[in-house]
A and B are shown apart, each in its own frame.
Chain A
Amino acid sequence: MGFKTQLKLRARRQVKLMRALRKSLELRTRVNRTDRIRPNDVLCFTTLRNEHLRLPYFLEYYRKMGVGHFLMVDNGSDDGTAEYLEKQRDVSLWTTQASYKGSCFGVDWLNHLQWRYGADHWCLVADVDEFLLYPYADTRPLQALTDWLDSQGRKSFSAMLLDMYPKGPIAAQPYSAGQNPFEIARWFDAANYSLKQNPLMGNLWIQGGVRQRLFMADSPEQAPALNKVPLVRWSRKYAYVSSSHMALPRGLNRVYDDTGGEQASGVLLHAKFLDTIMDKANEELQRGQHYADSREYRAYDLKLRDGQNLWCEHSTEYINWRQLEILGLMSKGDWA
Protein backbone atom coordinates (compact mmCIF):
# COMPACT_ATOMS: atom_id res chain seq x y z
CA MET A 1 0.00 0.00 0.00
CA GLY A 2 1.38 3.32 -1.06
CA PHE A 3 1.92 6.28 1.21
CA LYS A 4 -0.81 8.19 -0.60
CA THR A 5 -3.37 5.47 -0.01
CA GLN A 6 -2.40 5.37 3.61
CA LEU A 7 -3.00 9.06 3.95
CA LYS A 8 -6.27 8.77 2.10
CA LEU A 9 -7.54 6.01 4.36
CA ARG A 10 -6.39 7.86 7.42
CA ALA A 11 -8.28 10.93 6.28
CA ARG A 12 -11.32 8.83 5.59
CA ARG A 13 -11.21 7.38 9.08
CA GLN A 14 -10.89 10.78 10.63
CA VAL A 15 -13.75 12.16 8.59
CA LYS A 16 -15.80 9.23 9.77
CA LEU A 17 -14.94 9.93 13.39
CA MET A 18 -15.75 13.63 13.05
CA ARG A 19 -19.00 12.76 11.41
CA ALA A 20 -19.87 10.43 14.27
CA LEU A 21 -19.28 13.29 16.66
CA ARG A 22 -21.51 15.60 14.66
CA LYS A 23 -24.26 13.01 14.30
CA SER A 24 -24.14 12.32 18.03
CA LEU A 25 -26.02 15.61 18.44
CA GLU A 26 -29.04 13.80 17.03
CA LEU A 27 -29.10 11.33 19.92
CA ARG A 28 -31.21 11.95 23.01
CA THR A 29 -30.33 9.95 26.09
CA ARG A 30 -33.36 8.00 27.22
CA VAL A 31 -31.66 5.99 29.91
CA ASN A 32 -27.93 5.77 30.52
CA ARG A 33 -26.77 2.89 32.67
CA THR A 34 -23.25 2.78 31.31
CA ASP A 35 -21.88 3.29 34.83
CA ARG A 36 -22.74 -0.37 35.35
CA ILE A 37 -20.28 -1.49 32.69
CA ARG A 38 -17.45 -3.49 34.26
CA PRO A 39 -13.93 -3.40 32.84
CA ASN A 40 -14.03 -6.74 31.03
CA ASP A 41 -17.61 -6.65 29.79
CA VAL A 42 -18.39 -7.43 26.19
CA LEU A 43 -20.70 -4.69 24.92
CA CYS A 44 -23.41 -5.02 22.30
CA PHE A 45 -24.31 -2.04 20.08
CA THR A 46 -27.57 -1.98 18.13
CA THR A 47 -29.68 0.42 16.10
CA LEU A 48 -33.29 -0.53 15.80
CA ARG A 49 -36.79 0.56 14.91
CA ASN A 50 -40.06 -1.10 15.86
CA GLU A 51 -38.57 -4.38 17.02
CA HIS A 52 -40.58 -4.95 20.18
CA LEU A 53 -41.59 -8.41 19.04
CA ARG A 54 -38.02 -9.60 18.49
CA LEU A 55 -36.34 -8.03 21.46
CA PRO A 56 -37.08 -10.58 24.19
CA TYR A 57 -35.30 -13.38 22.37
CA PHE A 58 -32.51 -11.12 21.18
CA LEU A 59 -31.66 -9.94 24.69
CA GLU A 60 -32.00 -13.42 26.15
CA TYR A 61 -29.72 -14.89 23.48
CA TYR A 62 -26.90 -12.44 24.05
CA ARG A 63 -27.26 -12.35 27.84
CA LYS A 64 -26.85 -16.09 27.91
CA MET A 65 -23.81 -15.78 25.68
CA GLY A 66 -22.24 -13.39 28.14
CA VAL A 67 -22.80 -9.88 26.79
CA GLY A 68 -22.44 -7.49 29.72
CA HIS A 69 -24.29 -4.44 28.50
CA PHE A 70 -26.45 -3.38 25.56
CA LEU A 71 -26.13 0.10 24.08
CA MET A 72 -29.03 0.77 21.76
CA VAL A 73 -30.25 3.54 19.52
CA ASP A 74 -33.98 3.61 18.93
CA ASN A 75 -34.72 5.32 15.65
CA GLY A 76 -38.29 6.50 16.14
CA SER A 77 -40.13 3.34 17.16
CA ASP A 78 -43.84 3.64 17.88
CA ASP A 79 -44.55 0.08 18.97
CA GLY A 80 -43.34 0.32 22.55
CA THR A 81 -39.74 -0.68 21.81
CA ALA A 82 -38.29 2.20 23.83
CA GLU A 83 -40.59 1.60 26.77
CA TYR A 84 -39.64 -2.07 26.79
CA LEU A 85 -35.90 -1.42 26.60
CA GLU A 86 -36.07 1.25 29.27
CA LYS A 87 -37.06 -1.42 31.76
CA GLN A 88 -34.10 -3.70 31.02
CA ARG A 89 -31.40 -3.23 33.60
CA ASP A 90 -28.50 -4.00 31.29
CA VAL A 91 -29.63 -1.67 28.50
CA SER A 92 -28.64 1.93 27.90
CA LEU A 93 -30.93 3.58 25.42
CA TRP A 94 -30.65 6.59 23.15
CA THR A 95 -33.44 7.76 20.90
CA THR A 96 -33.50 9.81 17.75
CA GLN A 97 -36.04 10.84 15.15
CA ALA A 98 -33.33 11.82 12.68
CA SER A 99 -32.78 10.15 9.34
CA TYR A 100 -31.40 6.60 9.38
CA LYS A 101 -30.03 7.14 5.92
CA GLY A 102 -28.46 10.42 7.01
CA SER A 103 -26.45 8.65 9.67
CA CYS A 104 -25.08 6.14 7.16
CA PHE A 105 -27.67 3.58 8.22
CA GLY A 106 -26.89 3.95 11.90
CA VAL A 107 -23.11 3.66 11.56
CA ASP A 108 -22.45 7.23 12.68
CA TRP A 109 -24.55 6.88 15.82
CA LEU A 110 -22.95 3.61 16.82
CA ASN A 111 -19.45 4.83 15.97
CA HIS A 112 -20.04 7.61 18.43
CA LEU A 113 -21.35 5.35 21.18
CA GLN A 114 -18.44 3.02 20.66
CA TRP A 115 -16.01 5.90 20.77
CA ARG A 116 -17.58 7.09 23.98
CA TYR A 117 -18.18 3.82 25.84
CA GLY A 118 -16.53 1.04 23.89
CA ALA A 119 -12.82 1.80 24.11
CA ASP A 120 -10.82 -1.15 25.51
CA HIS A 121 -13.87 -3.40 25.46
CA TRP A 122 -14.72 -6.10 23.02
CA CYS A 123 -17.64 -4.58 21.14
CA LEU A 124 -20.24 -6.50 19.21
CA VAL A 125 -22.36 -4.74 16.62
CA ALA A 126 -25.48 -6.73 15.87
CA ASP A 127 -28.91 -5.86 14.55
CA VAL A 128 -31.92 -7.30 16.30
CA ASP A 129 -32.18 -10.03 13.67
CA GLU A 130 -28.51 -11.03 13.82
CA PHE A 131 -27.38 -13.80 16.13
CA LEU A 132 -23.68 -14.43 16.59
CA LEU A 133 -22.39 -17.97 16.47
CA TYR A 134 -18.74 -18.75 17.08
CA PRO A 135 -16.79 -21.98 17.55
CA TYR A 136 -17.77 -23.79 20.76
CA ALA A 137 -20.63 -21.34 21.32
CA ASP A 138 -22.59 -24.15 22.97
CA THR A 139 -19.99 -24.78 25.67
CA ARG A 140 -17.91 -21.61 25.98
CA PRO A 141 -19.18 -18.13 26.73
CA LEU A 142 -18.28 -15.13 24.61
CA GLN A 143 -15.67 -14.16 27.19
CA ALA A 144 -13.73 -17.34 26.40
CA LEU A 145 -13.55 -16.24 22.78
CA THR A 146 -12.50 -12.69 23.54
CA ASP A 147 -9.88 -13.89 26.06
CA TRP A 148 -8.47 -16.19 23.44
CA LEU A 149 -8.48 -13.46 20.78
CA ASP A 150 -6.61 -11.25 23.24
CA SER A 151 -4.04 -13.96 23.84
CA GLN A 152 -3.53 -14.23 20.09
CA GLY A 153 -3.13 -10.51 19.74
CA ARG A 154 -6.16 -10.29 17.49
CA LYS A 155 -8.24 -7.14 17.44
CA SER A 156 -11.19 -8.28 15.37
CA PHE A 157 -13.26 -11.36 14.66
CA SER A 158 -15.25 -11.95 11.51
CA ALA A 159 -18.70 -13.47 11.31
CA MET A 160 -20.31 -13.74 7.93
CA LEU A 161 -24.00 -13.01 7.64
CA LEU A 162 -25.91 -16.21 6.94
CA ASP A 163 -29.45 -15.65 5.69
CA MET A 164 -31.86 -18.12 7.25
CA TYR A 165 -35.32 -18.80 5.87
CA PRO A 166 -38.35 -21.00 6.46
CA LYS A 167 -39.69 -23.73 4.21
CA GLY A 168 -42.86 -22.67 2.44
CA PRO A 169 -44.51 -19.25 2.16
CA ILE A 170 -43.14 -16.80 4.65
CA ALA A 171 -46.53 -15.80 6.03
CA ALA A 172 -47.43 -19.39 6.85
CA GLN A 173 -45.39 -19.53 10.07
CA PRO A 174 -45.93 -16.42 12.17
CA TYR A 175 -43.26 -15.47 14.71
CA SER A 176 -44.28 -14.81 18.30
CA ALA A 177 -42.42 -12.83 20.95
CA GLY A 178 -39.71 -14.71 22.80
CA GLN A 179 -39.58 -17.51 20.26
CA ASN A 180 -36.31 -18.75 18.81
CA PRO A 181 -36.59 -17.45 15.23
CA PHE A 182 -34.56 -20.40 13.97
CA GLU A 183 -37.36 -22.76 14.86
CA ILE A 184 -39.06 -21.20 11.84
CA ALA A 185 -36.23 -19.89 9.70
CA ARG A 186 -34.05 -22.93 9.97
CA TRP A 187 -32.80 -23.35 6.40
CA PHE A 188 -29.88 -21.79 4.63
CA ASP A 189 -27.79 -21.90 1.45
CA ALA A 190 -24.59 -23.79 2.15
CA ALA A 191 -22.20 -23.13 -0.71
CA ASN A 192 -23.24 -20.47 -3.19
CA TYR A 193 -21.14 -17.58 -1.94
CA SER A 194 -18.96 -15.37 -4.06
CA LEU A 195 -15.84 -13.88 -2.49
CA LYS A 196 -13.81 -11.05 -3.93
CA GLN A 197 -10.91 -9.16 -2.46
CA ASN A 198 -11.25 -5.47 -1.82
CA PRO A 199 -7.68 -4.23 -2.26
CA LEU A 200 -8.35 -0.79 -0.84
CA MET A 201 -10.00 -1.79 2.43
CA GLY A 202 -8.30 -5.15 2.77
CA ASN A 203 -11.53 -7.06 3.32
CA LEU A 204 -13.20 -9.89 1.46
CA TRP A 205 -16.41 -8.91 -0.21
CA ILE A 206 -18.89 -11.75 0.18
CA GLN A 207 -22.18 -12.02 -1.65
CA GLY A 208 -24.56 -14.85 -2.28
CA GLY A 209 -26.97 -16.91 -0.28
CA VAL A 210 -30.70 -16.91 -0.72
CA ARG A 211 -30.93 -13.18 -1.36
CA GLN A 212 -28.67 -13.31 -4.37
CA ARG A 213 -30.09 -16.62 -5.55
CA LEU A 214 -33.68 -15.42 -5.63
CA PHE A 215 -33.89 -11.66 -5.53
CA MET A 216 -30.75 -10.57 -7.33
CA ALA A 217 -30.27 -13.34 -9.88
CA ASP A 218 -30.49 -10.83 -12.72
CA SER A 219 -28.13 -8.33 -11.16
CA PRO A 220 -25.82 -10.34 -8.91
CA GLU A 221 -23.46 -7.41 -8.38
CA GLN A 222 -26.21 -5.63 -6.48
CA ALA A 223 -26.66 -8.40 -3.94
CA PRO A 224 -26.03 -7.22 -0.39
CA ALA A 225 -22.63 -7.73 1.22
CA LEU A 226 -22.47 -10.59 3.72
CA ASN A 227 -18.97 -10.06 5.10
CA LYS A 228 -19.00 -8.65 8.61
CA VAL A 229 -16.48 -7.89 11.31
CA PRO A 230 -18.94 -7.51 14.17
CA LEU A 231 -16.62 -8.16 17.11
CA VAL A 232 -13.77 -5.71 17.64
CA ARG A 233 -11.60 -4.84 20.58
CA TRP A 234 -12.44 -1.19 20.30
CA SER A 235 -10.10 1.75 20.37
CA ARG A 236 -11.00 5.41 20.00
CA LYS A 237 -9.08 5.43 16.75
CA TYR A 238 -11.37 2.91 15.12
CA ALA A 239 -14.41 3.56 12.97
CA TYR A 240 -16.80 1.37 11.05
CA VAL A 241 -17.10 2.55 7.49
CA SER A 242 -20.14 0.79 6.17
CA SER A 243 -22.32 -1.03 8.65
CA SER A 244 -20.07 -3.60 10.32
CA HIS A 245 -18.92 -4.82 6.90
CA MET A 246 -15.72 -2.81 6.96
CA ALA A 247 -13.75 -0.93 9.55
CA LEU A 248 -10.76 1.37 9.58
CA PRO A 249 -7.84 1.08 10.09
CA ARG A 250 -8.00 -1.63 7.52
CA GLY A 251 -5.96 -4.10 9.54
CA LEU A 252 -9.23 -4.83 11.33
CA ASN A 253 -10.61 -6.24 8.08
CA ARG A 254 -7.71 -8.61 7.68
CA VAL A 255 -9.59 -11.48 9.25
CA TYR A 256 -8.52 -14.12 6.74
CA ASP A 257 -5.41 -16.12 6.01
CA ASP A 258 -4.16 -15.94 2.43
CA THR A 259 -1.55 -18.67 2.57
CA GLY A 260 -4.04 -21.52 2.88
CA GLY A 261 -4.58 -21.69 6.63
CA GLU A 262 -7.81 -20.84 8.39
CA GLN A 263 -8.33 -18.10 10.93
CA ALA A 264 -11.02 -18.66 13.49
CA SER A 265 -14.32 -17.11 12.42
CA GLY A 266 -18.01 -17.23 13.22
CA VAL A 267 -21.36 -16.65 11.62
CA LEU A 268 -24.13 -14.13 12.17
CA LEU A 269 -27.33 -16.10 11.75
CA HIS A 270 -29.68 -13.68 10.04
CA ALA A 271 -33.33 -14.08 11.01
CA LYS A 272 -34.58 -11.64 8.41
CA PHE A 273 -36.98 -13.89 6.59
CA LEU A 274 -39.83 -14.25 9.05
CA ASP A 275 -43.40 -13.14 8.53
CA THR A 276 -42.43 -9.82 10.13
CA ILE A 277 -40.56 -8.88 6.98
CA MET A 278 -43.78 -8.14 5.11
CA ASP A 279 -44.75 -5.22 7.34
CA LYS A 280 -41.16 -4.15 7.51
CA ALA A 281 -40.82 -4.10 3.73
CA ASN A 282 -43.98 -2.10 3.45
CA GLU A 283 -42.90 0.44 6.01
CA GLU A 284 -39.37 0.74 4.69
CA LEU A 285 -40.62 1.31 1.18
CA GLN A 286 -42.66 4.26 2.36
CA ARG A 287 -39.79 5.67 4.43
CA GLY A 288 -37.14 5.06 1.78
CA GLN A 289 -34.50 5.01 4.48
CA HIS A 290 -32.58 1.92 3.47
CA TYR A 291 -29.50 1.23 1.45
CA ALA A 292 -29.57 1.90 -2.29
CA ASP A 293 -33.11 3.30 -2.34
CA SER A 294 -34.37 0.29 -0.44
CA ARG A 295 -33.86 -1.74 -3.60
CA GLU A 296 -33.67 -4.83 -1.51
CA TYR A 297 -37.00 -4.26 0.17
CA ARG A 298 -38.66 -3.54 -3.15
CA ALA A 299 -37.64 -6.99 -4.36
CA TYR A 300 -38.81 -8.68 -1.16
CA ASP A 301 -42.12 -6.97 -1.32
CA LEU A 302 -42.78 -8.07 -4.88
CA LYS A 303 -41.76 -11.69 -4.52
CA LEU A 304 -42.71 -12.51 -0.96
CA ARG A 305 -46.21 -11.15 -1.39
CA ASP A 306 -46.73 -13.78 -4.08
CA GLY A 307 -45.88 -16.48 -1.58
CA GLN A 308 -42.44 -17.12 -3.01
CA ASN A 309 -40.79 -20.12 -1.40
CA LEU A 310 -37.22 -19.35 -0.41
CA TRP A 311 -36.53 -22.98 0.24
CA CYS A 312 -35.12 -25.23 -2.47
CA GLU A 313 -34.33 -28.92 -2.54
CA HIS A 314 -30.69 -28.27 -1.81
CA SER A 315 -31.32 -25.99 1.13
CA THR A 316 -29.58 -27.15 4.29
CA GLU A 317 -31.35 -27.48 7.62
CA TYR A 318 -29.56 -25.85 10.50
CA ILE A 319 -28.30 -28.07 13.32
CA ASN A 320 -25.49 -26.34 15.21
CA TRP A 321 -22.19 -24.51 14.87
CA ARG A 322 -20.28 -27.70 14.24
CA GLN A 323 -22.36 -28.30 11.15
CA LEU A 324 -21.56 -24.81 9.86
CA GLU A 325 -17.90 -25.47 10.63
CA ILE A 326 -17.90 -28.69 8.63
CA LEU A 327 -19.64 -26.91 5.76
CA GLY A 328 -16.86 -24.35 5.76
CA LEU A 329 -19.04 -21.35 6.54
CA MET A 330 -17.05 -20.68 9.70
CA SER A 331 -13.85 -22.05 11.18
CA LYS A 332 -12.34 -23.05 14.49
CA GLY A 333 -8.95 -21.99 13.22
CA ASP A 334 -6.47 -23.11 15.85
CA TRP A 335 -8.78 -22.45 18.75
CA ALA A 336 -8.82 -25.94 20.21
Chain B
Amino acid sequence: MTMIETDTSSVPARILKSPKHWRNRKAASHWRSGDEEFDAAKFGMWLFLSTEVLLFAGIFCGYAVFRLLYPEAWANGSHYLDWRFGAANTAVLLLSSWTAANAVRLAQLDKQFWFKVNLVITIVCALLFLFIKLKFEYMLKLPAGKAPGTFFSYPMAHDPHEPLWWSLYYVGTGIHAFHVIIGAIIFAVVLWRAVRYQSYGPTQYTLVENSALYWHIVDLIWIFLFPLLYLIH
Protein backbone atom coordinates (compact mmCIF):
# COMPACT_ATOMS: atom_id res chain seq x y z
CA MET B 1 0.00 0.00 0.00
CA THR B 2 1.68 3.16 -1.20
CA MET B 3 0.85 6.25 0.74
CA ILE B 4 1.07 9.60 -0.98
CA GLU B 5 2.68 12.09 1.34
CA THR B 6 0.47 15.16 1.61
CA ASP B 7 2.25 18.13 3.04
CA THR B 8 -0.49 20.55 4.05
CA SER B 9 1.67 22.83 6.20
CA SER B 10 2.02 25.48 3.49
CA VAL B 11 -1.67 25.47 2.54
CA PRO B 12 -3.62 28.33 4.15
CA ALA B 13 -6.39 27.25 6.52
CA ARG B 14 -8.94 29.18 4.45
CA ILE B 15 -8.29 26.83 1.51
CA LEU B 16 -7.99 23.66 3.60
CA LYS B 17 -11.33 24.31 5.32
CA SER B 18 -13.16 25.29 2.13
CA PRO B 19 -15.91 22.82 1.19
CA LYS B 20 -14.54 23.05 -2.34
CA HIS B 21 -11.11 21.71 -1.32
CA TRP B 22 -10.61 18.22 -2.75
CA ARG B 23 -10.32 16.66 0.73
CA ASN B 24 -13.72 18.02 1.69
CA ARG B 25 -15.55 17.15 -1.50
CA LYS B 26 -17.77 14.08 -1.49
CA ALA B 27 -19.53 12.10 -4.16
CA ALA B 28 -23.10 13.25 -4.70
CA SER B 29 -25.48 11.35 -2.44
CA HIS B 30 -27.18 9.42 -5.23
CA TRP B 31 -23.96 7.59 -6.03
CA ARG B 32 -23.04 4.46 -4.16
CA SER B 33 -19.41 5.55 -4.23
CA GLY B 34 -17.10 8.22 -5.57
CA ASP B 35 -15.68 5.64 -7.94
CA GLU B 36 -19.05 5.09 -9.55
CA GLU B 37 -19.56 8.81 -9.94
CA PHE B 38 -16.15 9.12 -11.58
CA ASP B 39 -16.69 6.19 -13.94
CA ALA B 40 -20.15 7.39 -14.95
CA ALA B 41 -18.88 10.92 -15.63
CA LYS B 42 -16.03 9.56 -17.70
CA PHE B 43 -18.30 7.22 -19.64
CA GLY B 44 -20.63 10.14 -20.33
CA MET B 45 -17.62 12.10 -21.57
CA TRP B 46 -16.70 9.29 -23.96
CA LEU B 47 -20.25 9.25 -25.31
CA PHE B 48 -20.01 13.00 -25.86
CA LEU B 49 -16.60 12.61 -27.53
CA SER B 50 -18.07 10.05 -29.92
CA THR B 51 -20.67 12.63 -31.00
CA GLU B 52 -17.81 15.08 -31.54
CA VAL B 53 -16.15 12.55 -33.82
CA LEU B 54 -19.42 12.20 -35.73
CA LEU B 55 -19.65 16.00 -36.10
CA PHE B 56 -16.21 16.14 -37.69
CA ALA B 57 -16.97 12.97 -39.71
CA GLY B 58 -19.47 15.11 -41.63
CA ILE B 59 -16.68 17.50 -42.54
CA PHE B 60 -14.30 14.67 -43.44
CA CYS B 61 -17.01 13.07 -45.58
CA GLY B 62 -17.66 16.38 -47.34
CA TYR B 63 -13.93 16.66 -47.94
CA ALA B 64 -13.78 13.17 -49.47
CA VAL B 65 -16.82 13.65 -51.70
CA PHE B 66 -15.73 17.03 -53.03
CA ARG B 67 -12.16 15.91 -53.51
CA LEU B 68 -13.37 13.04 -55.68
CA LEU B 69 -15.69 15.31 -57.64
CA TYR B 70 -13.33 18.27 -58.03
CA PRO B 71 -9.74 16.98 -57.69
CA GLU B 72 -8.18 20.09 -59.24
CA ALA B 73 -9.91 22.52 -56.91
CA TRP B 74 -8.72 20.42 -53.97
CA ALA B 75 -5.16 20.15 -55.30
CA ASN B 76 -5.01 23.92 -55.85
CA GLY B 77 -6.61 24.54 -52.46
CA SER B 78 -4.01 22.60 -50.51
CA HIS B 79 -1.24 24.41 -52.41
CA TYR B 80 -2.61 27.73 -51.17
CA LEU B 81 -1.92 26.61 -47.59
CA ASP B 82 1.54 26.72 -46.07
CA TRP B 83 2.40 23.40 -44.41
CA ARG B 84 4.77 25.19 -42.00
CA PHE B 85 1.91 26.89 -40.16
CA GLY B 86 -0.03 23.65 -40.08
CA ALA B 87 2.98 21.77 -38.72
CA ALA B 88 3.68 24.50 -36.13
CA ASN B 89 0.09 24.28 -34.94
CA THR B 90 0.32 20.49 -34.79
CA ALA B 91 3.40 20.75 -32.57
CA VAL B 92 1.67 23.33 -30.35
CA LEU B 93 -1.38 21.12 -29.90
CA LEU B 94 0.70 17.98 -29.25
CA LEU B 95 2.64 19.83 -26.58
CA SER B 96 -0.57 21.05 -24.96
CA SER B 97 -2.01 17.55 -25.12
CA TRP B 98 1.01 16.33 -23.22
CA THR B 99 0.67 19.05 -20.57
CA ALA B 100 -3.05 18.20 -20.24
CA ALA B 101 -2.12 14.54 -19.64
CA ASN B 102 0.50 15.74 -17.16
CA ALA B 103 -2.10 17.84 -15.35
CA VAL B 104 -4.22 14.71 -14.74
CA ARG B 105 -1.25 12.78 -13.39
CA LEU B 106 -0.14 15.67 -11.14
CA ALA B 107 -3.67 16.10 -9.75
CA GLN B 108 -3.72 12.36 -8.99
CA LEU B 109 -0.42 12.76 -7.12
CA ASP B 110 -1.53 15.99 -5.37
CA LYS B 111 1.37 18.00 -6.79
CA GLN B 112 -0.60 21.23 -6.77
CA PHE B 113 2.11 23.61 -8.04
CA TRP B 114 3.13 21.62 -11.12
CA PHE B 115 -0.51 20.77 -11.74
CA LYS B 116 -1.24 24.49 -12.09
CA VAL B 117 1.88 25.08 -14.19
CA ASN B 118 0.74 22.44 -16.66
CA LEU B 119 -2.73 23.94 -16.84
CA VAL B 120 -1.22 27.34 -17.61
CA ILE B 121 0.98 25.88 -20.37
CA THR B 122 -2.06 24.16 -21.88
CA ILE B 123 -4.02 27.41 -21.96
CA VAL B 124 -1.06 29.33 -23.41
CA CYS B 125 -0.71 26.70 -26.15
CA ALA B 126 -4.42 27.01 -26.95
CA LEU B 127 -4.02 30.78 -27.35
CA LEU B 128 -0.85 30.31 -29.40
CA PHE B 129 -2.71 27.91 -31.70
CA LEU B 130 -5.47 30.49 -32.23
CA PHE B 131 -2.91 33.26 -32.75
CA ILE B 132 -1.07 31.33 -35.48
CA LYS B 133 -4.37 30.40 -37.11
CA LEU B 134 -5.65 33.97 -37.17
CA LYS B 135 -2.47 35.96 -37.74
CA PHE B 136 -0.78 33.80 -40.39
CA GLU B 137 -3.74 32.11 -42.03
CA TYR B 138 -7.17 33.72 -41.74
CA MET B 139 -5.87 37.31 -41.67
CA LEU B 140 -3.72 36.76 -44.78
CA LYS B 141 -6.23 34.75 -46.79
CA LEU B 142 -9.44 36.63 -46.19
CA PRO B 143 -8.20 40.06 -47.42
CA ALA B 144 -6.80 38.35 -50.53
CA GLY B 145 -10.30 37.15 -51.34
CA LYS B 146 -9.66 33.49 -50.47
CA ALA B 147 -12.95 33.36 -48.68
CA PRO B 148 -15.77 30.81 -48.48
CA GLY B 149 -18.74 30.66 -50.85
CA THR B 150 -20.12 33.97 -52.08
CA PHE B 151 -17.50 35.91 -50.13
CA PHE B 152 -14.90 34.58 -52.57
CA SER B 153 -13.07 37.28 -54.59
CA TYR B 154 -9.57 35.95 -55.33
CA PRO B 155 -8.76 36.91 -58.95
CA MET B 156 -6.05 34.28 -59.56
CA ALA B 157 -8.14 31.17 -58.82
CA HIS B 158 -7.90 28.49 -61.50
CA ASP B 159 -10.79 26.19 -60.76
CA PRO B 160 -14.48 27.10 -60.54
CA HIS B 161 -14.82 24.98 -57.39
CA GLU B 162 -12.25 26.82 -55.32
CA PRO B 163 -14.91 28.77 -53.35
CA LEU B 164 -16.14 25.34 -52.25
CA TRP B 165 -12.67 24.37 -51.06
CA TRP B 166 -12.50 27.55 -48.99
CA SER B 167 -15.95 26.86 -47.55
CA LEU B 168 -14.76 23.47 -46.38
CA TYR B 169 -11.47 24.88 -45.10
CA TYR B 170 -13.10 27.61 -43.02
CA VAL B 171 -15.88 25.38 -41.69
CA GLY B 172 -13.44 22.59 -40.77
CA THR B 173 -10.76 24.73 -39.17
CA GLY B 174 -13.34 27.16 -37.78
CA ILE B 175 -15.32 24.52 -35.90
CA HIS B 176 -12.02 23.09 -34.71
CA ALA B 177 -10.84 26.53 -33.53
CA PHE B 178 -14.18 26.95 -31.74
CA HIS B 179 -13.41 23.73 -29.87
CA VAL B 180 -9.97 25.08 -28.98
CA ILE B 181 -11.60 28.21 -27.50
CA ILE B 182 -14.05 26.10 -25.46
CA GLY B 183 -11.19 23.86 -24.27
CA ALA B 184 -9.19 26.91 -23.16
CA ILE B 185 -12.22 28.23 -21.23
CA ILE B 186 -12.73 24.87 -19.48
CA PHE B 187 -9.06 24.73 -18.50
CA ALA B 188 -9.29 28.32 -17.25
CA VAL B 189 -12.17 27.26 -14.97
CA VAL B 190 -10.15 24.29 -13.72
CA LEU B 191 -7.16 26.56 -13.12
CA TRP B 192 -9.27 29.11 -11.25
CA ARG B 193 -10.74 26.44 -8.96
CA ALA B 194 -7.29 24.91 -8.44
CA VAL B 195 -5.82 28.28 -7.46
CA ARG B 196 -8.74 29.43 -5.34
CA TYR B 197 -9.78 26.20 -3.55
CA GLN B 198 -7.30 23.44 -4.53
CA SER B 199 -10.38 21.61 -5.74
CA TYR B 200 -8.52 18.79 -7.46
CA GLY B 201 -6.53 16.03 -5.82
CA PRO B 202 -6.11 12.25 -5.66
CA THR B 203 -9.76 11.54 -4.83
CA GLN B 204 -11.35 14.40 -6.78
CA TYR B 205 -10.18 15.02 -10.31
CA THR B 206 -13.15 14.16 -12.53
CA LEU B 207 -13.27 17.58 -14.22
CA VAL B 208 -9.51 17.53 -14.84
CA GLU B 209 -9.76 14.07 -16.39
CA ASN B 210 -12.74 14.95 -18.58
CA SER B 211 -11.42 18.30 -19.76
CA ALA B 212 -8.14 16.58 -20.65
CA LEU B 213 -10.12 13.97 -22.63
CA TYR B 214 -11.89 16.81 -24.44
CA TRP B 215 -8.57 18.45 -25.18
CA HIS B 216 -7.12 15.20 -26.51
CA ILE B 217 -10.03 14.77 -28.95
CA VAL B 218 -9.44 18.34 -30.18
CA ASP B 219 -5.81 17.36 -30.74
CA LEU B 220 -6.85 14.08 -32.37
CA ILE B 221 -9.09 15.88 -34.87
CA TRP B 222 -6.31 18.30 -35.77
CA ILE B 223 -4.01 15.30 -36.31
CA PHE B 224 -6.35 14.32 -39.17
CA LEU B 225 -7.26 17.83 -40.38
CA PHE B 226 -3.60 18.80 -40.80
CA PRO B 227 -2.63 16.19 -43.45
CA LEU B 228 -6.03 16.39 -45.17
CA LEU B 229 -5.88 20.16 -45.66
CA TYR B 230 -2.15 20.88 -45.88
CA LEU B 231 -0.38 17.76 -47.12
CA ILE B 232 -2.77 15.89 -49.41
CA HIS B 233 -3.02 17.58 -52.76
Same assembly: no
Taking beta carbons and an 8 Å cutoff, which residues of B are in contact with A? Answer: none
